[in-house]
Structure 1
Amino acid sequence: MYTLSNDGDSFEKRYWNVFLKNDFPAYEKYWSKYIVPLTNRSISTPGDVHFKNSHQLLSEGYLPEDICKAQLHYTVLRRLGRAVEILAYLQSKPVQDIIDTDALAEGIFHVVAAQDVAFEFLQRMSTPNKYDPWVPNNHGNQTRNNNTSEDAQREWRKNNNHPLGDIRNYRNTIAHGRVLPSTRKNNKIMLPNIGKEQNYLDWRLLTDGNGSINNNDFDIIDEILRYAWTETIQYCSDEWEKLSL
Structure 2
Amino acid sequence: MAAIERWMQAVVDAVPQPLWVIGPGGAVAHLNEAAGRLLGYSDPRRVVGGPSHEVLHGHRADGSAYPAHECPIVHAADHGGDPRGNEVFVTRAGRPLDVAWQVAELPLPEHRLLSFEPQAQVPAMRGVPSASALRAQIAARHRDPEFCVDVLARDAHVSVRTAQAVLGREGESPAALIREYRLGSAQGLLRDGMPVAAAAYSAGFRDPDTFARAFRRRFGVAPGAFARDAG
Which of structures 1 and 2 has the bigger CA Rg? 1
Tell whether the structures are fold-level matches, with TM greater than 0.5: no
Q: TM-score, normalised by structure 1?
A: 0.28
| Larger relative contact order (CA 8 Å, sep ≥ 6) | 1
Q: TM-score, normalised by structure 2?
A: 0.29
